[in-house]
Structure 1
Amino acid sequence: MDVYFWRRPVNHTDLQKTPLCSACEKAGGKMVDFHGWLLPVQFEGIIAEHHAVRSQSGMFDVSHMGQIFVEGKDAWPFLQYINCNNIKNEPGAGVYSHILTEKGTIIDDAISFCLTPEKFLVVVNAACIAEDFAWFEKQAAKFNVTVRNESASWGMIALQGPQALEQAAKLLPQAKEVARFHIIEIELFGVKGYLTRTGYTGEDGVEIMLPGDKIENLWNALLQQGVKPCGLGARDVLRLEAGYLLNGADADQTRTPYEAGCGWVVKLAKENFVGKDALAAQKAQGVKEKLTGFVLKSPGVPRAGCKVFAGGQEKGVLTSGTFSPLFKGIAVGYLAAEAAVPGTEVEIEIHGRRAKAEVVKTPFYKNRV
């Protein structure tokens, strides 16, 4: 969600709107175009919203995210095949993984939740919904399984921060009992939905999914509880501090999980999955470039596209960068493997000027959970 992905919309009617679009505008959200969606970049301000999530709680409209249901006798084997990580078939359990091409490159990063051994909910990135669903359908032909794209039917709010569980429990007492990376079915405002506990900010929190026509009820209830609405700007800073990938920038179909610093999601020991052979070969050979963290040692705000120099030679390029209230200028980008060593001094070219920076291990920020 780097600012390079945002632009002021020329015509709001050309953009997709979430069920919370009007509520966000009413709350003072400054609306921008994000991958064809009309979403708030900020409300009170990025720094204030960042502070709210790091110290109290904040909520984000993430209704643009996708929900794909996978159901049938082969639901689990199917998900095992299209994911490089081991998907759990224990009801309630969720797993973060990458969905890959046959070349081992990243189509999307997604979380698969087991509702029953024969029914799963896969939450995917907004910009990848159509492509993911088409890929699912293509691969499903080999299995006794059905896939349904229900993304247009759901609204979703991410409630994040040290006080997030306490705020959620005022409406859903069971929220505090949900383990990390798990899901439960809920009933709220007379309808059924889902509550998950994952997070994209580096803080604890929950994501609550309800039918689109009821999600505004939840938004208003949380506003009344004093939860601060937050936008894309704060979300981008928070996720970058926490070391989470931005699909389409930090990871895409030109990069593998090993190059993206996510080798831990690759389980080469499992029987088979799409892209396994390519990843096995790459692991044996090693990567030439890898996603690397940087902290500026001089003034400036790094952005995607900035070149990285080591030893006076161009060695890489940034994929995400921002100003962090905690660390000042931070960024990630692909750097030649020999230079991607924590402590290495580099220079990042910002508006024609080279700013001193240091290679660091990510995440930049790690909380208590």
Structure 2
Amino acid sequence: MSKITPLHAVHECLGASFTDFGGWHMPVRYTSDIAEHYAVRQAAGIFDLCHMGEIEIEGTDAGRALDRALVGNLSAVAVGKAKYSMMCDEAGGILDDLVVYRLADEHFMVVANAANSETVLAEFRSRAHGLDAEIRDARDDWALVAVQGPASVDIISGLTEVHLEDLKYYSIHRGTLAGTAVLLARTGYTGEDGFEVYCRPGNAVNLWEALTDAGEPHGLIPAGLASRDTLRLEAGMPLYGQELSRDRTPFEAGLGRVIAFAKDSDFVGRHALEARRESGVDQQLIGLIADTRRAPRAGYPVRDQGGRVVGDVTSGAPSPTLGHSIALAYISTGYAEPGTSLSIDVRGTAVDAHVVALPFYTRHKN
């Protein structure tokens, strides 16, 4: 049976439709996918992210444990900062992509994808063997609510003593929000400015209601997984299980930059990833703009001008912001140059498409 979040009753009262996602019963939409998408792009949306998997790592060797377990140089992250990283297997395949927050000198919090959290937890415990690092399953200790969109600063600033001008992108501060003790992070998965708020599960409903009340004058509405998916797709952000998997390394995904080969610590997957760096990749993740109103879906073949299959779509949808269909796809490297003309096989119909640089959408920064 799928788990429910501390906010489940709130979503029911709001008339949400639900779906099973990563072992959780999650709101997929409240009213309209497009309306929720536009709210985040133009004002703000509030998301329930309580399904994410928090793991806390403490001890004198906490940084070393992270460096051994992940591909990035996490011991170099400053207190109050965050870093995107990946956990790979010995063959270089991606087990998960995750965010690491440094809460204190010897205290980190890792946030894994819901479906992968058990694997990530077990791997951390195995990879930290012999080090002074306690690996703690903190999934039941935290609830997570996100406020994303251009109005998010105005909404959050009226509820907290944290100076948001000091809370830069990929930073985290302890403080209060609407009188509730929280970890306030300036992170997100929508391509917009925004915040992810960690609180104790028993405070989640009150926090959601306070944010909803404060956000109403600014146009904030609840947003579900469907809009979250089109938002992240427009922003060119990969999704585990779609663009990322154990069958892919960070290089195919265009994320080789997250690997810290120069760090002092060895890490799981280093030798395989070094070999992949030297050999190069046969396929890479690219963006496609398709000349169709029908959504290109995961698994649809991508063909060259002669009709030969050169790749497959991993995610696709009509873009509410851009007004045309977009897709992420893995294709042979010889076809990855922006401007390359291809076609997508949409249920037997060849639809013209061309390669574009990612992301599809970039927010305007003041």
Query: Structure 1, residues 107-137: CA drift from partner, whole Å, max 9, x if none?
Result: 1111111111111011111111111000111
Q: Tell me if structure 2 keeps the 8 A contact 1:66–1:126.
A: yes
1:367 equivalent in structure 2: 363
2:309 equivalent in structure 1: 314
Which SS does the other structure have where 1:70 is aligned? strand
Q: 1:155 aligns with which of 129, 143, 146?
A: 143
Asked whether 1:32 is paired with 2:25, we answer no
Asked whether 1:304 is paired with 2:298, we answer yes
How far 1:40 moved relative to its partner?
A: 0.9
Q: 1:298 to 1:190 in 2, by over 3 A?
A: closer
Asked whether 1:274 is paired with 2:234, we answer no
Q: 1:357 aligns with which of 344, 353, 359?
A: 353
Which SS does the other structure have where 1:343 is aligned? coil
118-127 or 269-278, which deviates more: 269-278
Q: 1:175 to 1:302 in 2, by over 3 A?
A: farther
Q: Tell me if structure 1 keeps the 8 A contact 2:23–2:114.
A: no
Q: Could you tell me how far apart the structure 1 residues matched to 2:232 and 2:110 are?
A: 20
Which SS does the other structure have where 2:65 is aligned? helix
Q: Tell me if structure 1 keeps the 8 A contact 2:296–2:346.
A: yes
Asked whether 1:256 is paired with 2:244, we answer no
How far 1:89 moved relative to its partner?
A: 3.7
Asked whether 1:131 is paired with 2:119, we answer yes
Q: Tell me if structure 1 keeps the 8 A contact 2:159–2:178.
A: no
Q: Could you tell me how far apart the structure 2 residues matched to 1:279 and 1:95 are?
A: 20
**AA matched with 1:322:** A
- Please report the TM-score for the alignment, with normalisation by the length of structure 2: 0.94
Q: Could you tell me how far apart the structure 2 residues matched to 1:342 and 1:142 are?
A: 48
2:235 equivalent in structure 1: 242
Which SS does the other structure have where 2:162 is aligned? helix
Q: Could you tell me how far apart the structure 2 residues matched to 1:253 and 1:142 are?
A: 26
Q: Could you tell me how far apart the structure 2 residues matched to 1:239 and 1:303 are?
A: 15
Q: Tell me if structure 1 keeps the 8 A contact 2:49–2:145.
A: yes
2:202 equivalent in structure 1: 213
Q: Could you tell me how far apart the structure 1 residues matched to 2:158 and 2:12 are?
A: 25
Query: Structure 1, residues 85-120: CA drift from partner, whole Å, max 9, x if none?
Result: 222342101110111111111111111111111110
Q: 1:96 aligns with which of 84, 91, 102?
A: 84
Q: Tell me if structure 2 keeps the 8 A contact 1:293–1:330.
A: yes
Q: 2:190 aligns with which of 192, 201, 206?
A: 201
Q: 1:115 aligns with which of 85, 103, 122?
A: 103
Q: What are the equivalent positions in structure 2 for 1:5-24 lying under 5 Å apart?
A: 14-24=1-11
**AA matched with 1:85:** G
Asked whether 1:145 is paired with 2:133, we answer yes
Q: Could you tell me how far apart the structure 2 residues matched to 1:71 and 1:92 are?
A: 15
Q: Could you tell me how far apart the structure 2 residues matched to 1:175 and 1:322 are?
A: 38
How far 1:276 moved relative to its partner?
A: 1.3
Q: 1:75 aligns with which of 52, 58, 62?
A: 62
**AA matched with 1:126:** A
**AA matched with 1:349:** D
**AA matched with 1:364:** F
Q: Could you tell me how far apart the structure 2 residues matched to 1:297 and 1:238 are?
A: 20
31-40 or 245-254, which deviates more: 31-40
Q: Could you tell me how far apart the structure 2 residues matched to 1:42 and 1:265 are?
A: 33
How far 1:35 moved relative to its partner?
A: 2.5
Query: Structure 1, residues 151-172: CA drift from partner, whole Å, max 9, x if none?
Result: 1221111100001011011211
Q: Tell me if structure 2 keeps the 8 A contact 1:89–1:116.
A: no
Asked whether 1:57 is paired with 2:44, we answer yes
Query: Structure 1, residues 275-316: CA drift from partner, whole Å, max 9, x if none?
Result: 111111111111001111111023321111111101310011
Q: Tell me if structure 2 keeps the 8 A contact 1:25–1:31.
A: no
142-151 or 61-70, which deviates more: 142-151
How far 1:362 moved relative to its partner?
A: 0.7
Q: Could you tell me how far apart the structure 1 residues matched to 2:175 and 2:53 are?
A: 19
1:336 equivalent in structure 2: 332
1:292 equivalent in structure 2: 286
Query: Structure 1, residues 181-200: CA drift from partner, whole Å, max 9, x if none?
Result: 01111234665321111110
**AA matched with 2:113:** N
1:11 equivalent in structure 2: none
Q: Could you tell me how far apart the structure 1 residues matched to 2:163 and 2:193 are?
A: 12
How far 1:242 moved relative to its partner?
A: 0.5
Q: Give RMSD over aligned pairs.
A: 1.3
Q: Could you tell me how far apart the structure 1 residues matched to 2:178 and 2:213 are?
A: 16
Unaligned runs of 5+ in 1: 1-13
